[in-house]
C-alpha cells in the first residue's frame, strides 16, 4: 500500500484523490451538505429549473461521488455482490470507484433476485444491484432527498431521515386520545407497493435525471439464471427505492385535505380525517364508518390507481377505536374511553418465537454464548416498545423466557435435581434472585469484568419513557431547523446508549461529534473507540485516554499516523 504523508489529507479535493484514506471527509460532508441545502431552498421557492441545475452539479461533484461510495462500502450490504460478483473491499477499489461514477455511457446491470421470508410465510422478492449501480443510486439520492423532504407529506414517517415508527405511533395517539377524537379508523395496506408502482408515473413526476431513472427501472432482474424484464415497480433492495416509493405516495394528505378540509378548518373538525403513513402502511381516521367506507376509501383507491397501485383487501378494514387496530407492531385501542397503545399480540409472539428459536439452536452452547445471543434481541425489542404502555407485556415476556431457559438448563442435566440446576445457572444479583447469569472466568481482566456474572437482560428492566414526536414540518435540509435537529439528535443519541455510561460520557465531552472531522456521530454513521495513547504503548482504558471517531476517521488516524487530542470544554478556545 502506498505511503501517504499526513499533510496531503488537507490538500484540495479538486481532482480524484490518489488514495481512499487521503479524502478530507469533513470537507466532503460540508460540500455535499451545502449543495443539498441550496436544492431544498430552490424546491421550497418552486424554482425547478435551479433545482435541476443544482442536482446535476451535485451528481457530477467528486464530493458527492466519494460520499456515495463510502455509503455502499460501509453499510450492512457491503459484502453482498450483484450479478457481476464484484465488491469494493480495498481502499484502492473504493478510490477507483469514485472515477467510475459517470452518467455518460452509464448502463446499469440487471439485479440479482433473491427471496426472503415474510411474517405470513410467503416470500418477498429482493433485488440486489451491483456495487456500481448501488453507488450511482446513492449518488442521485443525495440530490433527490432534499427535494423529497421538502415536498413530503407532513405525517409521513417511513424511510425518511430523522423520523421513525415511534413518531408515527405518537401521531396516532395525538389524533385519537381525546374524548372528542375520531372514533373510526381505516387501516390500509398497499398490495405489492414496491413491485407495482407505474414506471411512467415515476418518470413523469420524480424530479431527477429521467434518463438515469428510466435505465434503473428497466434494467431487469436475473432469477435462476434467466433474465426477466421489469415492467413495473421499483426493486426492494435498491438504495433509492424507498424514496421513490415515498414520492409516489406523497400527495395523499393533500388529496384528503382538498375534500375534507385542512387542519384548523371547520370542515376538518367535523370530518376528523387524519392520515398517518409509514412507508406503504397507513391509517386514516374519520368521524363515522360510513364516511371512511363511502367517501375516504374510494378517494384513496382513485389516488393509488393513478400510480398503478391497489389496496390489499385482506389487510384493509374499518375498525372502531374501542375494538382497536394493529399498526407498526403496536395495538391501538381505547379501554373505557382511555387510549392505550401496547405491543400487539402478533409482535410479542414473533419476538418470543425468535428467542425460543435461538435457545433451541444453542442447546449445546455455553451459557455465556447463549446470553450473548439473547441480550441484543431482548434489549432491541424492549427499546422499540419502551415509549408505550408495555410494562405488563415486558414482565410476561420475561416470565415466558425464564420458562424456556429453565427447560434448556434442565435438559442439559437430566440426572441432576432442580436445586443443583438452579445453583449452576441462576444466581442472586443484588436484590433479584433467579437471574440467568454465567460466572465470568477469572482470567478476564477486572476492568472488563465489572461484575462476577454475565447476566441475561430483562425486558422489564427497560424504563418506560414517552417519545417526543418530531415536528411535522421539520426539514433536515432547512438551516432554520438546524438547531432543532441538533438538540433532538443529541438527546436521542444519548438516550439510545444510556446503558453504556462510558459512551454517554464520551459523547457529552465531544458534544456528539467525531474528534477528528467534527461531524455528528449517529447510529447510522457508527463510531469507534480510539485510545489516544495506544494500549500497546501502555495506554489505559480510562475515559481521559479515549475519544470517539467515525470508522473511516479511525482508519485515517492509524493509517496516516495522525494525532488526535481530547476536545476542549465547550466555550474554551
* pLDDT tens digits, one per residue of 71-108: 999 888 888 888 889 999 999 999 999 999 998 889 99
Residue range 17-33, pLDDT digits in tens = 778 988 988 889 889 98
Hey, is 493 helix, strand or coil? Answer: helix
Instruction: Please tell me the chain's helix, strand, coil percentages from 3-state DSSP, rounded to the nearest 5.
Output: 50, 15, 35
Residue range 261-273, pLDDT digits in tens = 988 899 999 999 9
State residue 449's pLDDT score.
43
Rounded Cα gap, residues 519 and 549, in angstroms: 9
* pTM to 2 decimal places: 0.83
State residue 93's pLDDT score.
92
Cα radius of gyration rounded to whole Å, the chain: 26
Sheet holding 281-286, edge to edge: 274-278, 281-286, 184-189, 317-320
Res 573 pLDDT > 70 = no
Report, as an integer, the average pLDDT of 323-337: 95
Res 221 pLDDT > 70 = yes
Question: To which residue does cell 407505474 refer?
Answer: 198
Residue range 392-418, pLDDT digits in tens = 999 999 999 999 999 999 999 999 999
pLDDT level of residue 259 (50, 70, 90 thresholds): very high
Residue range 382-394, pLDDT digits in tens = 999 999 999 999 9
Rounded Cα gap, residues 39 and 148, in angstroms: 11
pLDDT level of residue 324 (50, 70, 90 thresholds): very high
Hey, is 189 helix, strand or coil? Answer: strand
pLDDT level of residue 537 (50, 70, 90 thresholds): low
Report, as an integer, the average pLDDT of 210-227: 90
Res 559 pLDDT > 90 = no
Rounded Cα gap, residues 238 and 213, in angstroms: 12
Q: Which three cell numbers stand for residue 403?
A: 420458562
Res 443 pLDDT > 70 = no
Hey, is 322 helix, strand or coil? Answer: coil
Q: Which CATH architecture has domain 479-560?
A: Orthogonal Bundle (1.10)
Res 49 pLDDT > 90 = yes
Q: Where do the structural domains in the chain lie, given as residue ranges? A: 345-461, 479-560
Q: Which residue has the higher pLDDT, 512 or 124?
A: 512
For the chain, helix (H) and strand (E) counts, in that order, are 22, 16
* Paired sense of beta strands 111-117 and 221-223, if any: parallel
Residue 226, phi-psi category: left (phi > 0), alpha (psi -120 to 50), beta (remainder): beta
Res 59 pLDDT > 80 = yes
Report the mean per-residue pLDDT for the chain: 87
State residue 496's pLDDT score.
58
Amino acid at each position: 500500500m502506498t505511503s501517504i504523508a499526513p499533510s496531503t489529507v488537507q490538500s484540495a479535493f479538486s481532482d480524484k484523490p490518489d488514495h481512499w484514506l487521503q479524502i478530507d471527509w469533513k470537507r466532503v460532508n460540508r460540500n455535499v451538505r451545502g449543495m443539498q441545502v441550496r436544492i431544498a431552498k430552490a424546491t421550497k421557492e418552486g424554482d425547478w429549473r435551479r433545482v435541476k441545475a443544482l442536482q446535476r452539479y451535485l451528481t457530477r461533484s467528486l464530493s458527492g461521488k466519494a460520499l456515495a461510495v463510502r455509503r455502499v462500502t460501509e453499510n450492512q450490504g457491503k459484502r453482498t455482490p450483484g450479478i457481476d460478483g464484484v465488491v469494493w473491499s480495498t481502499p484502492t477499489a473504493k478510490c477507483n470507484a469514485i472515477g467510475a461514477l459517470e452518467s455518460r455511457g452509464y448502463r446499469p446491470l440487471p439485479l440479482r433476485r433473491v427471496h426472503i421470508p415474510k411474517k405470513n410465510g410467503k416470500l418477498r422478492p429482493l433485488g440486489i444491484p451491483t456495487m456500481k449501480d448501488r453507488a450511482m443510486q446513492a449518488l442521485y439520492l443525495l440530490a433527490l432527498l432534499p427535494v423529497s423532504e421538502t415536498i413530503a407529506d407532513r405525517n409521513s414517517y417511513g424511510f425518511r431521515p430523522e423520523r421513525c415508527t415511534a413518531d408515527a405511533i405518537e401521531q396516532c395517539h395525538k389524533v385519537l386520545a381525546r374524548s372528542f377524537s375520531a372514533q373510526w379508523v381505516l387501516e390500509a395496506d398497499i398490495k405489492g407497493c414496491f413491485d407495482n408502482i407505474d414506471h411512467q408515473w415515476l418518470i413523469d413526476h420524480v424530479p431527477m435525471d429521467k434518463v438515469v431513472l428510466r435505465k434503473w427501472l428497466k434494467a431487469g432482474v436475473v432469477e435462476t439464471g434467466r433474465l426477466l424484464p421489469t415492467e413495473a415497480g421499483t426493486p426492494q433492495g435498491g438504495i433509492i427505492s424507498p424514496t421513490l416509493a415515498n414520492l409516489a405516495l406523497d400527495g395523499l394528505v393533500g388529496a384528503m385535505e382538498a375534500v375534507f378540509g385542512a387542519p384548523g378548518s371547520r370542515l376538518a373538525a367535523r370530518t376528523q380525517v387524519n392520515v398517518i403513513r409509514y412507508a406503504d402502511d397507513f391509517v386514516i381516521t374519520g368521524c363515522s364508518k360510513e364516511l371512511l367506507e363511502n367517501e375516504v376509501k374510494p378517494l384513496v383507491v382513485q389516488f393509488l390507481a393513478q400510480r398503478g397501485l391497489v389496496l390489499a383487501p385482506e389487510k384493509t378494514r374499518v375498525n372502531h377505536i374501542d375494538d382497536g387496530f394493529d399498526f407498526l407492531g403496536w395495538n391501538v385501542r381505547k379501554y373505557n374511553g382511555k387510549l392505550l397503545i401496547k405491543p400487539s399480540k402478533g409482535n410479542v409472539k414473533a419476538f418470543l418465537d425468535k428467542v425460543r428459536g435461538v435457545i433451541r439452536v444453542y442447546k449445546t452452547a455455553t451459557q455465556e454464548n447463549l446470553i450473548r445471543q439473547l441480550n441484543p434481541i431482548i434489549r432491541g425489542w424492549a427499546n422499540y416498545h419502551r415509549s408505550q404502555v408495555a410494562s405488563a407485556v415486558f414482565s410476561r415476556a420475561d416470565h415466558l423466557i425464564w420458562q424456556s431457559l429453565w427447560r434448556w438448563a434442565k435438559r442439559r442435566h437430566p440426572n441432576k435435581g432442580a436445586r443443583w440446576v438452579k445453583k449452576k445457572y441462576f444466581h442472586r444479583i443484588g436484590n433479584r434472585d433467579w437471574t440467568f447469569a454465567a460466572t465470568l472466568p477469572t482470567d478476564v481482566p477486572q476492568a472488563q469484568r465489572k461484575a462476577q456474572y454475565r447476566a441475561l437482560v430483562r425486558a422489564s428492566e427497560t424504563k418506560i419513557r414517552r417519545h417526543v414526536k418530531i415536528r411535522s414540518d421539520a426539514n433536515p435540509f432547512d438551516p432554520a431547523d438546524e438547531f432543532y435537529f441538533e438538540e433532538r439528535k443529541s438527546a436521542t443519541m444519548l438516550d439510545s446508549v444510556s446503558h453504556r455510561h462510558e459512551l454517554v460520557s464520551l459523547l457529552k465531552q465531544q458534544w456528539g461529534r467525531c474528534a477528528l472531522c467534527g461531524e455528528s456521530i449517529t447510529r447510522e454513521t457508527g463510531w469507534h473507540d480510539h485510545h489516544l495513547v495506544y494500549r500497546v504503548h501502555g495506554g489505559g482504558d480510562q475515559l481521559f485516554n479515549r475519544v470517539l471517531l467515525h470508522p473511516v476517521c479511525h482508519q485515517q488516524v492509524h493509517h496516516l499516523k495522525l494525532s488526535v487530542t481530547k476536545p476542549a470544554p465547550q466555550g474554551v478556545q
